[in-house]
Structure 1
Amino acid sequence: MKKVILSMAALAMIFATSCSNDSKETMNTDQQAKVDMSDFYLYTDADIDEQSRVASGQKSCHSMVNLNRLLNENPGLEQTMYDIEYNLRAAIAAKKPDGAGNGNGNGGGNNGGGTDPDPGFTDPVSIPVVVNIIEQYSNQVTTQQINSQIAVLNEDFNNNNSNTSGVPSEFSGAVADCGISFTLHTVNRVVSTQSSWGTNDAMKHSSQGGIDVTDPSTYLNIWVCEIGGGILGYAQFPGGPSSTDGVVIGTDFFGENAAGGVYGHGRTATHEVGHWLNLRHIWGDGQCKQDDFVQDTPPSNGPNYGCPSYPTVNCQTADMTMNYMDYVYDDCMYMFTNGQNTRMRALFESGGARASLAGN
Structure 2
Amino acid sequence: MKKILLSAVSLLLLVSCSNDESNTSGESTATARRHRGCASHEVHEQQLRENPELAAKMQEIENFTQNAITNGRLVNGRIEIPVVVNVLYRTAAENISLTQIQSQIDVLNKDFNALNSDFNQVPTTFSGVKANVRITFVLDAVYRKSTKKTSWGTRDAMKKSSQGGLNPTSPTTKLNLWVCTIGGGILGYAQFPGGSSATDGVVIDSKYLGTTGTATAPFNKGRTATHEVGHWMNLRHIWGDATCGSDLVSDTPTHNTANYGMPAFPHYSTCSGTPIEMTMNYMDYTDDAGMYMFSNGQKSRMLAIFASGGSRFSFAQP
TM-score (structure 1 length as normaliser): 0.79
Moved more, 52-61 or 322-331: 52-61
How much has 1:39 moved relative to structure 2? 8.7
1:286 equivalent to 2:242? Answer yes
- What SS does the aligned partner of 1:249 have? strand
Aligned equivalents of 1:77, 1:292: Cα separation in 2: 20
CA RMSD of aligned residues (A): 2.1
**Quick one: structure 1 residues 327 and 185, their matched pair in 2 at CA, closer, same or farther if it must change by over 3 Å?**
same
Give the AA of the match of 1:75. Answer: P
1:190 equivalent to 2:159? Answer no
Greater per-residue helix proportion: 1
Give the AA of the match of 1:82. Answer: Q
* Aligned residue runs from structure 1 range 1-360, under 5 A: 37-38=6-7, 41-44=10-13, 50-54=19-23, 57=32, 58-95=35-72, 121-137=75-91, 140-257=95-212, 259-288=215-244, 290-314=245-269, 315=271, 316-359=274-317
Task: Verify the 8 A CA contact 2:238 2:247 in the aligned structure 1.
Answer: yes
Aligned equivalents of 2:96, 2:307: Cα separation in 1: 35
Specify the structure having the higher radius of gyration (Cα): 1
- What SS does the aligned partner of 2:301 have? helix
Aligned to 1:17: none
Task: Verify the 8 A CA contact 2:16 2:236 in the aligned structure 1.
Answer: no
Moved more, 292-301 or 65-74: 65-74
Aligned equivalents of 1:49, 1:83: Cα separation in 2: 23
How much has 1:81 moved relative to structure 2? 0.5
- What SS does the aligned partner of 1:303 have? coil
How much has 1:186 moved relative to structure 2? 0.6
Give the AA of the match of 1:318. Answer: I
Aligned equivalents of 2:252, 2:176: Cα separation in 1: 28
1:173-202 superposed Cα distances (whole Å, 9 cap, x missing partner): 111000100001010100112111000000
- What SS does the aligned partner of 2:126 have? helix
**Quick one: structure 1 residues 295 and 337, their matched pair in 2 at CA, closer, same or farther if it must change by over 3 Å?**
same
**Quick one: structure 1 residues 52 and 265, their matched pair in 2 at CA, closer, same or farther if it must change by over 3 Å?**
closer
Task: Verify the 8 A CA contact 2:209 2:215 in the aligned structure 1.
Answer: no
Identity %: 48
Aligned equivalents of 1:149, 1:49: Cα separation in 2: 24
- What SS does the aligned partner of 2:145 have? strand
**Quick one: structure 1 residues 39 and 250, their matched pair in 2 at CA, closer, same or farther if it must change by over 3 Å?**
same
Give the AA of the match of 2:60. Answer: D
Give the AA of the match of 2:153. Answer: G
Task: Verify the 8 A CA contact 2:218 2:287 in the aligned structure 1.
Answer: yes
Aligned equivalents of 2:84, 2:209: Cα separation in 1: 14
**Quick one: structure 1 residues 152 and 40, their matched pair in 2 at CA, closer, same or farther if it must change by over 3 Å?**
farther
- What SS does the aligned partner of 1:263 have? coil
Give the AA of the match of 1:127. Answer: I
**Quick one: structure 1 residues 268 and 44, their matched pair in 2 at CA, closer, same or farther if it must change by over 3 Å?**
same
How many aligned residue pairs are there?
Answer: 302
Aligned equivalents of 1:45, 1:93: Cα separation in 2: 20
**Quick one: structure 1 residues 38 and 198, their matched pair in 2 at CA, closer, same or farther if it must change by over 3 Å?**
closer
How much has 1:68 moved relative to structure 2? 1.6
How much has 1:53 moved relative to structure 2? 3.5
Aligned equivalents of 1:231, 1:69: Cα separation in 2: 17
Higher relative contact order (CA 8 A, sep 6+): 2
TM-score (structure 2 length as normaliser): 0.90
Runs (5+) with no aligned partner, structure 1: 1-34, 96-118
